Amino acid sequence: MVVGDFAIELDTVVIGSGPGGYVAAIRAAQLGQKVAIIEREFIGGTCLNVGCIPSKALINAGHVYHDAKHGDFFGVNTKDISVDFKRTQQWKDEEVVGKLTGGVEMLLKKNKVEIIRGEAFFVDDHTLRVITEDAAQTYSFNNAIVATGSRPIEIPGFKFGERVLDSTGILALTDIPEDLVVIGGGYIGSELAGAYANFGTNITILEGSPQIIPTFEKDMVRLVEDEFKNKGVEIITNAMAKEAKVNGNRVEVTYEVGGKTHTVEADYCLVTVGRRPNTDEMGLEQAGVRIGDRGLITVDDQCRTNVSNIYAIGDAVAGAALAHKASYEAKVAAAAISGDESMVVDYVAMPAVCFTDPELASVGHTRDSAKEAGLDVNVSKFPLAANGRALSLNATEGFVRLVTTKEDNIIVGAQVAGANASDVIAELTLAVESGMNAEDIALTIHSHPSLAETVMDAAELALGMPIHI
């Protein structure tokens, strides 16, 4: 191993190049800082390489296959539909992931961000070491942003291997499994279960809580459950996974419900029960950084740790493990290092999306959380079945719901369930962020025919003057 015997000086260093890290690096550079970014594996982090982006690519490919097989209601009759899954994976890896990660690397270089390959370890609050297989180098820094992301949690009895997979493993399969058991029916488990169900895989979901995707409201989740049922997916709730036994090219999963033990066999078992922050074994304690519960770094409202020149963002800190949260925090931290004391984190308008069938999206308050916050609210729910664009898409399951204050119709929350909910929620996120009222939305001209019109219709409903319901 070659060891650098002198410290190279850095100004701002970002550790990790995911949606938090690369955004922090670029924004810091735009604000005039001299920036270096350290990455131990691949530019773009988990999200772009083995998470958000490749999973959405497979979800979309699954939709194309499923729709091709079930287009008879449009009068589109097809036969002999098949999937070349190796080609699907090649498209995902080369045309989607490859282009995005290559684009991020180009943007870093364009903004004069130095890319340092290797694994970073803190020596103290102004020094770190970067280690590769054949070299080690010491760097001194003025400010650091920890954006190291997270990794899948491995639970007892379910050691990851060829048949027991984490989210990275399930995205890399070269063949479509005939059967799949999914441990954990949260965001990741439900999204990937839906993708493979569309490809024809027999799916069993084991969820420990009373419903899958427990962070969303019951009437939203019920739509997903109904669609799963239509595709033959078996959902077992209040289930405790006990053990996975691999027998050749099959895996037997033992689980418990109501004190009774059951087993189910499949080609693979996917474990998606949460993620653990990558804050261990990087020497943060040597830098004096305080780490709280579950390995999360404690930060203030500018993402600053207890060590004034070290910041942390994304999955390394408390809050929802969302790529867009990390990117948002990245901009706050970069601004703070540049001396902007006015920019602080505010999570009131933080959208959450689940790419199931149908899609689910939420921002701000629900009815229940608004009441818990002491707000007196009205709730207005407009069905997609009354929308012309939804009818033309044969996607009428779902709704747009607004949570507005009774006094002045301020939009304090919204939920969308249905086709393209991930896009429709953007306008409502802006409404919550800006403190708009229902009249602001109702008086905004929306293109016709579009799913976005459901937002206008829901606003008119909130004002007591609906046109289309």
Do the annotations mark residue 191 as ligand-binding?
yes
Please state, in angstroms and rounded to a whole number, the distance separating the CA atoms of residues 417 and 449: 18
Do the annotations mark residue 260 as ligand-binding?
no
CA 246 to chain CA mean position, Å? 30
Do the annotations mark residue 427 as ligand-binding?
no
Q: Where are the alpha helices (DSSP H) in 298-366?
A: 323-337
Contacts of 417 (CB under 8 A, 6+ apart): 219, 220, 223, 358, 359, 360, 361, 397, 398, 399
Do the annotations mark residue 281 as ligand-binding?
no
Which residue(s) pair with 3 in the sheet? 136
Tokens of 101: 């990660």
Would you put residue 288 in left (φ > 0), alpha (ψ -120 to 50) or beta? left
Do the annotations mark residue 268 as ligand-binding?
no
Please state, in angstroms and rounded to a whole number, the distance separating the CA atoms of residues 224 and 193: 11
365 in active site: no
Residue whose C-alpha is closest to residue 348's, from 434, 408, 421: 434
Do the annotations mark residue 259 as ligand-binding?
no
Is-cis flag, bond preceding 449, omega within 30?
A: yes
Tokens of 168: 């990275």
Please state, in angstroms and rounded to a whole number, the distance separating the CA atoms of residues 57 and 46: 15
Contacts of 77 (CB under 8 A, 6+ apart): 71
Do the annotations mark residue 94 as ligand-binding?
no
To 5 degrees, how large is the angle CA 83–CA 87–CA 88? 70
Do the annotations mark residue 5 as ligand-binding?
no
Q: Which of 63, 126, 446, 448 is catalytic?
A: 448
Do the annotations mark residue 297 as ligand-binding?
no
Do the annotations mark residue 56 as ligand-binding?
yes
Angle, to 10 degrees, between the axis of helix 52-69 and the axis of helix 187-198? 30
Please state, in angstroms and rounded to a whole number, the distance separating the CA atoms of residues 162 and 183: 16
Please state, in angstroms and rounded to a whole number, the distance separating the CA atoms of residues 97 and 90: 10
Do the annotations mark residue 327 as ligand-binding?
no
Do the annotations mark residue 175 as ligand-binding?
no
Q: Where are the alpha helices (DSSP H) in 315-449?
A: 323-337, 367-372, 388-392, 421-434, 438-442
User: What is the DSSP-derived secondary structure letter of residue 303?
Assistant: S
Do the annotations mark residue 347 as ligand-binding?
no
Exposure class string for 65-103: b at 16+ Cβ within 10 A, else e: bbeeeeeeeeeeeeeeeebebeebbeebeeebbeebbee
Do the annotations mark residue 186 as ligand-binding?
yes
Do the annotations mark residue 105 as ligand-binding?
no
Known binding residues for NAD(+) are 184-191, 207, 274
Residues labelled catalytic: 448
Known binding residues are 56, 148-150, 184-191, 207, 274, 315
Known binding residues for FAD are 56, 148-150, 315
